[in-house]
Structure 1
Amino acid sequence: SRVDTNPDLRYYLSGSQHFLMSEKISQSLAGRTSVLHLLPFSLAELATGGFAFDRFEDALFRGQYPRIYDRDIAPGDFYPAYVQTYIERDVRQMKNIADFDAFYRFLRLCAGRIGQPLNVSSLAQDASISSQTAKAWLSVLQASFLVFYLRPHFRNFSRRLVKSPKLYFYDTGLLCYLLGIESADQLFTHYLRGNLFENFVLANLLKYRLHRGQPSNLHFWLDKNSREIDCLIEKGENLRPVEVEGGQTAKQAYFKNIKAWHALSGLQEKGYVIYGGDQSLEMPDGRLLSWRDMDAVMAF
């Protein structure tokens, strides 16, 4: 092959449909390739490009797909077309999904379950499909980079742990469209406001890793007594607890779960809370980070 006969050449292959690219590459290139997953822009990347937001609600609603910014397309115009062309044509081809209405209904039901431990049986029942079909369709959504799982951390601080992953979307603009949200202002009173902000934060933290060619090191922790840490960042033997709060006022109460986790785990890695306010502050029980500064939590 050209790779073997010209070892000094470098080839860059890009595409929005990695599953279709993989099917067309017949040779194994194990040990000779590097794969970099480039998701929709992160908040920091948008800021570098001159796109800043006064409110996180505006960034969350608009989403992060590049075409929205380089073509200045309104979310209300972009996302219906995105669903029509990308999801209907490309995603359905992966599994020969014949019933688009059922698949679209399933996708919207997934949107309503962000930030919750995934119950495939319940999701399948609500979508009027089998559990086997639900699992297959979830695999399609993962492979097409529409959704991702945040998996629980299993270090045995408590034996009564929730073991199901949580479901999130890579892009919050698409998520808002699927939930029928038509403006950023609707987010102030939406019943999933907290879950949407949590999705917004976790997707950005994941992009911080993947866009640097690093695997995800994000987990969550939840026990059967509903004690929870929204995100545990793992680095070697260290675990950094991070809570996500959509409120815009600095509150010491945000650190309640982190204090409980410290007491249970015996670990004392500094805790962080990422919230919807504008100021980053040192608090008695940890660091309070504005949503604008969320990337700071990844450096340790």
Structure 2
Amino acid sequence: MIKRNAADLLKKLAVGFPVVSITGPRQSGKTTLAQHCFAEKPYVTLEDPDTRDYALHDPRSFLAQFPDGAILDEVQRCPDLFSYLQGIVDRDGRMGLFILTGSQQFSLKEGISQSLAGRVGMVHLLPLAQDELLAAGDLPTTLDEFLYKGAYPPIYTRPVEVFQWYANYVSTYLERDVRQLINVQDLALFQRFLRVCAHHVGQLVNLTQIANDCGISQKTVEAWLSVLEASYLVVRLQPWYRNFNKRLVKTPKLYFYDTGLVCWLLGIRDVEQVKFHAMRGALFENLVISECHKHLFNQGEHPEIWFWRDRSGHEVDMVLERGGQFRAVEVKSGQTLSQDQFKGLQFWQELTGNAGKTLLVYGGEQAQQRTVAQVIPWRNLAGLCG
């Protein structure tokens, strides 16, 4: 098992909450992490039809099997359990009694907010972070390979072809989660929607264009995007709100939590294709955004991440807020830097009165300290939030 940074957070929350919940996309390592940190607890998956039937029809007897708690996997499949868990943990009084996992955040959060509010510590577990792979000696040797492979744990722990794994992942996701969350009659159409979204990575969300490309309504696009968000596949990065007396873009940008999945959806089938692909820059930008989310989630923080753009075309790829301090980040996929690449950050400094840090992350190998910004190489993305 690759050591997960969220393990310390998970153990800490189990000391202060009777229930701990681990949410994240399928195959991100939720079950492995829970079993590693709480090896003494029995493990039950509610994906199993017989187990789920037992829990649905006799929840009191089902939970009585576990007087010292348990790991309940995909617990959102049995929403009535939340009410019974409330009574058990309130009577028992012990911390870290039950560990819940789920891959559909809206369903899980709804059950928690209705029955277990104030009793649950939340951990959001995304695919492997770059520094986790680096510590394990598994980080790909080149940026293009990292973009292509992505960061789902099975890619690094099983002898499987990357493109075959993602093909099966998408198929399983469509069959399981989409049918559970929404009534999609045409799964091929939903897969087309996924591919169209991949082509919009790093762009402002244009509901009309996506709808036209897929042959569906804007209302359906919005609903399906919400499904992707609920399953931790995509994130809509919101524009920064501070005005600076400028007309600002108010539309969010679209990103995925994993670049390997994006590459598969784009039809990229080997590393060589990444090097010359028209979306390589967008893929690297996506990588930086997703790594920042992972780093902050692993520390138990809610990611305060935006982008900034005005109507005149001035833009900063990412704005981070940590403890009231702002960091403006520009992303460049090339291995060499030119002075022109710092123009966006220079404009930001003039606009904000040189407030906060300015950083530029690039596809090269050397860290630098420039007058305008600190330069961070692609291998040290955790340094953006550290």
Q: Same fold (TM over 0.5)?
A: yes
Matched, 1:104 2:191: yes
Residue 267 of structure 1: CA displacement? 3.3
Residue 22 of structure 1: CA displacement? 5.6
1:123 matched residue in structure 2: 210
Encode CA deviations 1:69-91: one digit per residue, 9 max, x unaligned: 11132211100100111223222
Q: Residues 174 and 187 of structure 2 are in contact (CA less than 8 Å); yes or no, is this contact kept in structure 1?
A: no
Could you say what secondary structure the match of 1:118 adopts?
Answer: coil
Residue 160 of structure 1: CA displacement? 0.9
1:217 matched residue in structure 2: 304
2:66 matched residue in structure 1: none
Q: Residues 248 and 310 of structure 2 are in contact (CA less than 8 Å); yes or no, is this contact kept in structure 1?
A: yes
Residue 24 of structure 1: CA displacement? 7.0
1:133 matched residue in structure 2: 220
Which residue, 243, 267, 280 being the options, matches 2:330?
Answer: 243
1:29 matched residue in structure 2: 116
Residue 27 of structure 1: CA displacement? 5.6
Residue 243 of structure 1: CA displacement? 0.2
Could you say what secondary structure the match of 1:248 adopts?
Answer: coil
Q: Residues 40 and 65 of structure 1 are in contact (CA less than 8 Å); yes or no, is this contact kept in structure 2?
A: yes
Match for 2:275: what amino acid? F
Could you say what secondary structure the match of 2:306 adopts?
Answer: strand
Encode CA deviations 1:6-36: one digit per residue, 9 max, x unaligned: 1114121123344555677796100110111
Matched, 1:272 2:355: no
Matched, 1:146 2:269: no
Higher mean C-alpha deviation, range 279-288 or range 262-271: 262-271
Distance in 2, matches of 1:203 and 1:50, equals 20
Could you say what secondary structure the match of 2:140 adopts?
Answer: coil
Q: Residues 252 and 283 of structure 1 are in contact (CA less than 8 Å); yes or no, is this contact kept in structure 2?
A: no
Match for 1:251: what amino acid? S
1:287 matched residue in structure 2: 374
Distance in 1, matches of 2:169 and 2:257, equals 14
Matched, 1:297 2:384: yes
Distance in 1, matches of 2:113 and 2:288, equals 38
Matched, 1:255 2:357: no
Matched, 1:198 2:285: yes
TM-score normalized with structure 1 length: 0.95
Q: Residues 204 and 251 of structure 2 are in contact (CA less than 8 Å); yes or no, is this contact kept in structure 1?
A: yes
2:321 matched residue in structure 1: 234
1:51 matched residue in structure 2: 138
Residue 105 of structure 1: CA displacement? 0.8
Would the alpha carbon gap of residues 191 and 26 (structure 1) be closer, same or farther in structure 2, given more than 3 Å must change?
closer
Residue 207 of structure 1: CA displacement? 0.6
Would the alpha carbon gap of residues 19 and 184 (structure 1) be closer, same or farther in structure 2, given more than 3 Å must change?
same
Would the alpha carbon gap of residues 201 and 100 (structure 1) be closer, same or farther in structure 2, given more than 3 Å must change?
same
Could you say what secondary structure the match of 1:90 adopts?
Answer: helix
Could you say what secondary structure the match of 1:219 adopts?
Answer: strand
1:3 matched residue in structure 2: 89
Would the alpha carbon gap of residues 14 and 57 (structure 1) be closer, same or farther in structure 2, given more than 3 Å must change?
same
Would the alpha carbon gap of residues 8 and 295 (structure 1) be closer, same or farther in structure 2, given more than 3 Å must change?
same
* Amino-acid identity (%): 43
Would the alpha carbon gap of residues 50 and 242 (structure 1) be closer, same or farther in structure 2, given more than 3 Å must change?
same
Matched, 1:85 2:172: yes
Would the alpha carbon gap of residues 263 and 20 (structure 1) be closer, same or farther in structure 2, given more than 3 Å must change?
closer
Corresponding pairs, count: 299
Which residue, 235, 251, 274 being the options, matches 1:187?
Answer: 274
**Alignment map for 1:156-175 (pairs within 5 Å):** 156-175=243-262
Q: Which has the larger radius of gyration?
A: 2
C-alpha root-mean-square deviation of aligned residues, in Å? 1.7
Could you say what secondary structure the match of 2:141 adopts?
Answer: coil
Higher mean C-alpha deviation, range 119-128 or range 144-153: 119-128
Distance in 2, matches of 1:104 and 1:194, equals 24
Distance in 2, matches of 1:68 and 1:20, equals 28
Structure 2 gaps of 5+ residues are 1-86
TM-score normalized with structure 2 length: 0.74
Higher mean C-alpha deviation, range 22-31 or range 3-12: 22-31
Q: Residues 162 and 222 of structure 1 are in contact (CA less than 8 Å); yes or no, is this contact kept in structure 2?
A: yes
Match for 1:282: what amino acid? Q
Encode CA deviations 1:100-120: one digit per residue, 9 max, x unaligned: 111111111100001111111
Match for 1:12: what amino acid? I
